[in-house]
Every structure is written in structure tokens, then in C-alpha cells.
């Protein structure tokens, strides 16, 4: 499963606890904390296991977390897991100590877990307001033994793109511009886009965009982006950190009326095992500098340039002065 599926799952309201974050494969959580490869720390503050969900962005974020925490004096290891249904309970148990997360997605996941599968639809916690979303997430997480650390500016959420040529021809920079243009657009997306409030109906209700139909080619898939590039469709549903848009000649239109939920990146830790102020401080240094554009660039280096997530993470941290020389 891809990163885009994670974001789609969030926007569907996490209607079931089967929203999955990651690709198949990964280390078993039956292993002890010492069972995986780890990087020993110089001053022995203890060991921390960072969870990664198997898709590129999560793998890079986990490496970023592991390396800043190692630099702060902890022994760290990265454990790849299959999905949130598996790693979230393990985070509660302390089998995993730290996980890079997305505010709105986790908020609705926990909302469904705590209040029932219909809760995200009937009484959603997430919204386009990141502060309110994080506050709601904190209330759900604390009784489960989880500590939510501050969110940053980096966000990976649903987004819509058009060809650069189409945008320039019609003077489009935002979804509001598209609505005002009166142009009819066919959307390359999952077939559920026709009925989901974040997609077709939301574009019409919030922006006045005339949706002529949905081409069910998936969320952010190469086929969906190619269909827009070829002019078969005019709009594609993807994500804000899609690193392949340039190669298809596509550009994002700004969600200027905040249709999408706030899926800002933030660390979530086991409060008992990883709730120390030193851990929060080390991670916060990264959170404060990481941007959405940085995530796009990091994703591109792994996916297009075939660089290793650990190497990409190290170079980034060094460039930001976040690792001791």
C-alpha cells in the first residue's frame, strides 16, 4: 500500500480501523527491542525503537527521528511495521517508543478506536485547523498512554493537481480560481471520489468547481497523473508531498479554503518509556525546521535517485545543523 492510500484513508474519515499505512513486509513486532539493528549512543541514555510504516516518507521520517535522537545520546533502532492497527497498540505497550505520525489521520483512527467506527463520520475530531486537530488528538491519546508532541509546518494531505499548461492558460493558482473559471473538469482519482466530501462533492460545495465525472484510476497513481498529462482528465487527486508531479508536468492548486484536514507531521511517543523532556526537545528541533517542500525533496531523492533513507536523512540533518560534527 502506498503513501497516497494513507492520506485517502484519512480523508475518508477513517470509517473503519482497517486504514493501513504501509507496504507489506517489515520486521515482526514479536522481536525484543534489542532484536533489530541499532546504533549505540555514546553516553548511554537508553534505547529507543522508532516505528516506520514502510512507505518512502515514513521510512525517511523514522530515520530522521532515529538520527536526531542518537545525536542526543540515545541508542536507536528503526522497526518497519505493516500498518497502524499493528504499530499503534505496540506503541501503547512500549514495544515501539516513537512514531512519526500525521495529525488528522491519527486523530480519526483513535476516534474510531475509542468511540466506535462511526465516530469519525458523525463526530469528527480532525479538521483543517491544525491546533484544534492536535488538541483533539491529545485528548484521545493521553488515556492510552501516548504523548503527542507538537506539530510542525510539514504536511502530507490530499491535494489536487493540473497540468502546468492548463494552469497557465486559465490563470489558475488555487482551487478557488478553478471554481471561478467555470471550467468543467474530470477528476482522476479513486472511484469513491464521486461521493466523498473531501473530493468531488467537496470541490463543488466549497469551491463551486464543475465536476463532469471521476476517472477511477486511483489516488496519485502514475496512470492517474498520465491521464491528466494526456488531457483525458483535467484534475488529479494526489498528495502535497508527491515528488513525481514535475515529471508529469503537473502543478498543485492551492487548497485556499481549507477543504482538507490538517495532516501535519508530528511525533507520537509512549509516554512512560519515551516521555522525557530531552526526547521531546531533540525531536522538536527537527519538527521546527521540516517543511512540506523538504518532504517532497526527501521523497524524490529516495524514489527517483534511489538513495537510501538513512543517507538522505543524514544529509538533510547535517545541512540544517541538527547533527553534531
Fold adopted by 3-155+261-319 = D-Maltodextrin-Binding Protein; domain 2 (3.40.190)
Sign of the dihedral defined by the CA atoms of residues 159, 164, 166, 167, in that order: positive
What pLDDT is attached to residue 151? 98
User: What pLDDT does 26 receive?
Assistant: 32
pTM as predicted: 0.84
Query: Maximum distance among all alpha carbons in the chain?
Result: 63
Say if CB 219 and CB 9 are below 8 A apart.
no
Residue 94: HSE in the Cβ half-sphere, 13 Å Cα cutoff: 7
**How confident is the model at residue 83, as a pLDDT?**
84
- Residue 173's pLDDT is 98
Instruction: Provide the sign of the torsion angle of the four alpha carbons 256, 249, 229, 23, taken in this order.
Output: negative
Using CA atoms, how far apart are residues 316 and 65, in angstroms rounded to an integer? 12
Residue pair 74/33 in contact by the 8 Å Cβ criterion: no
Query: Residue 259 class from Cβ within 10 Å (0-12 exposed, 13-18 middle, 19+ buried)?
Result: buried
What residues does each domain of the chain span?
Answer: 3-155+261-319, 158-253
Helix (H) or strand (E) holding 237, with range, is strand 235-239
Q: pLDDT at position 230, please?
A: 98
Read off the C-alpha cell for 36.
Answer: 533489530
Tell me which architecture the domain covering 158-253 has in CATH: 3-Layer(aba) Sandwich (3.40)
The rounded average pLDDT for each run of 10 residues, N- to C-terminus, in the chain (325 residues) is 44 37 32 39 78 93 98 96 90 97 96 95 95 98 98 97 98 98 97 92 97 95 97 97 96 97 98 97 98 97 94 98 87
Question: In this predicted structure, what is the pLDDT of residue 43?
Answer: 56
Domains 3-155+261-319 and 158-253 agree in fold: yes
Beta-strand pair 235-239/158-163: antiparallel
Amino acid at each position: 500500500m502506498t503513501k497516497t492510500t494513507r492520506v485517502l484513508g484519512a480523508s475518508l474519515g477513517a470509517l473503519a480501523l482497517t486504514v493501513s499505512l504501509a507496504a507489506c513486509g517489515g520486521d515482526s513486532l514479536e522481536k525484543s527491542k534489542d532484536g533489530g539493528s541499532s546504533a549505540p549512543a555514546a553516553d548511554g541514555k537508553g534505547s529507543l525503537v522508532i516505528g516506520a510504516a514502510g512507505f518512502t516518507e515514513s521510512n525517511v521520517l523514522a530515520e530522521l527521528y532515529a538520527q536526531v535522537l542518537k545525536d542526543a545520546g540515545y541508542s536507536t533502532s528503526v522497526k518497519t511495521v505493516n500498518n497502524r492497527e499493528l504499530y499503534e497498540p505496540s506503541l501503547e505497550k512500549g514495544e515501539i517508543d516513537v512514531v512519526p505520525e500525521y495529525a488528522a489521520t491519527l486523530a480519526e483512527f483513535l476516534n474510531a478506536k475509542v468511540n466506535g467506527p462511526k465516530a469519525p463520520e458523525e463526530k469528527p475530531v480532525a479538521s483543517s485547523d491544525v491546533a484544534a486537530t492536535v488538541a483533539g488528538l491529545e485528548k484521545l491519546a493521553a488515556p492510552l498512554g501516548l504523548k503527542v508532541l507538537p506539530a510542525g509546518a510539514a504536511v502530507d494531505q490530499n491535494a489536487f493537481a493540473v497540468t502546468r499548461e492548463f494552469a497557465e492558460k486559465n490563470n489558475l493558482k488555487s482551487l478557488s480560481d478553478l471554481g471561478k473559471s467555470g471550467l468543467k473538469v474530470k477528476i482522476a482519482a479513486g472511484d469513491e471520489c464521486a461521493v466523498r466530501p473531501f473530493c468531488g462533492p467537496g470541490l463543488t460545495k466549497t469551491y463551486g468547481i464543475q465536476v463532469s465525472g471521476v476517472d477511477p484510476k486511483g489516488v496519485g497513481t502514475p496512470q492517474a497523473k498520465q491521464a491528466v498529462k494526456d488531457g483525458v482528465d483535467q484534475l488529479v487527486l494526489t498528495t502535497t508531498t508527491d515528488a513525481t508531479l514535475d515529471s508529469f508536468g503537473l502543478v498543485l492548486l492551492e487548497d485556499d479554503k481549507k477543504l482538507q484536514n490538517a495532516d501535519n507531521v508530528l511525533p507520537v511517543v509512549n509516554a512512560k518509556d519515551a516521555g522525557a523532556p530531552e526526547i521531546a526537545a531533540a525531536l522538536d528541533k527537527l519538527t521546527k525546521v521540516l517543511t512540506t517542500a523538504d518532504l517532497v525533496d526527501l521523497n524524490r531523492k529516495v524514489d527517483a535517485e534511489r538513495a537510501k533513507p538513512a543517507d538522505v536523512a543524514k544529509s538533510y540533518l547535517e545541512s540544517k545543523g541538527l547533527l553534531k560534527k
